[in-house]
Amino acid sequence: MFYRGPRRQLGSWIATRPGEVVGIGQIDSQRLGTPGPDQGYALFLARFFLPRLQLAPNEQVEDVVAGCVGVALKRSALFGRAPIMADLEMAFTLFGFLSELPVGLWAEKRQSMFSGVAHHHGYAAAREIADLVGEDLLRLNSDEVCSQDLFT
């Protein structure tokens, strides 16, 4: 017996399902971020950095990952590709999570900035973190980021 597939439909396909975005393209508005391919992969990659993260006593690893993943995704979308390890390394380095623990005012600012970001109501806080980082910083690699002073 031979395989027989379904009959071919004549005419072109038309989006008729509910929720299908037709004719408007990407919505352009503030605080929606930049779409990029395979963004969920950044959460997988972030797990490799967990043993290296230097957290202050009141910082939560979930908050740090949520805040830095937003920056990493912004960087990867800037280059038009899926996130890679270098994107996450740059984000964690920029905020000092891969080096010695910060002291003084910077430590307090970082702690308050990342506090509660992983909570499902923390999207606005995560967006604020991503919005702090300009395109000029996103184009740097992690070695160049070490010499930058983000919050003076």
Q: Is 83's pLDDT higher than 60? A: yes
How much is the pTM? 0.76
Question: What's the CA angle centered on 128, arms 125 and 41, to 5 degrees?
Answer: 80
- Determine the pLDDT at residue 9: 67
Q: Is 59's pLDDT higher than 60? A: yes
The residue among 3 and 86 whose pLDDT is bigger is 86
- Determine the pLDDT at residue 113: 92
Query: For residue 142, what are its two tokens?
Result: 């992690």
Enumerate residues 6+ apart whose C-beta is below 8 A from 136.
none
So where are the chain's domains? Answer: 41-49+58-145
Q: Is 116 in contact with 122 (CB distance < 8 Å)?
A: yes
Q: Which amino acid would we find at residue 103?
A: V
The residue among 9 and 152 whose pLDDT is bigger is 9
Mean pLDDT of the chain: 83
- Express each pLDDT in 5-30 by its tens digit: 667 666 776 667 766 666 656 566 66
Q: Which amino acid would we find at residue 109?
A: K
Range from 29-33, 66-70, 87-91, 124-128 carrying the lowest mean pLDDT: 29-33
Measure the CA–CA gap between 42 and 47, rounded to whole angstroms. Answer: 9
Q: What is the three-class DSSP state of 8? A: coil
Question: For the residues of 108-150, what is the DSSP string, one character each?
Answer: HHHHHHHTTTTSTT-HHHHHHHHHHS-HHHHTS-HHHHTT--S
Q: Which amino acid would we find at residue 152?
A: T
- Express each pLDDT in 36-48 by its tens digit: 778 889 999 999 9
Q: Is 41 in contact with 83 (CB distance < 8 Å)?
A: yes
Query: For residue 128, what are its two tokens?
Result: 């604020």
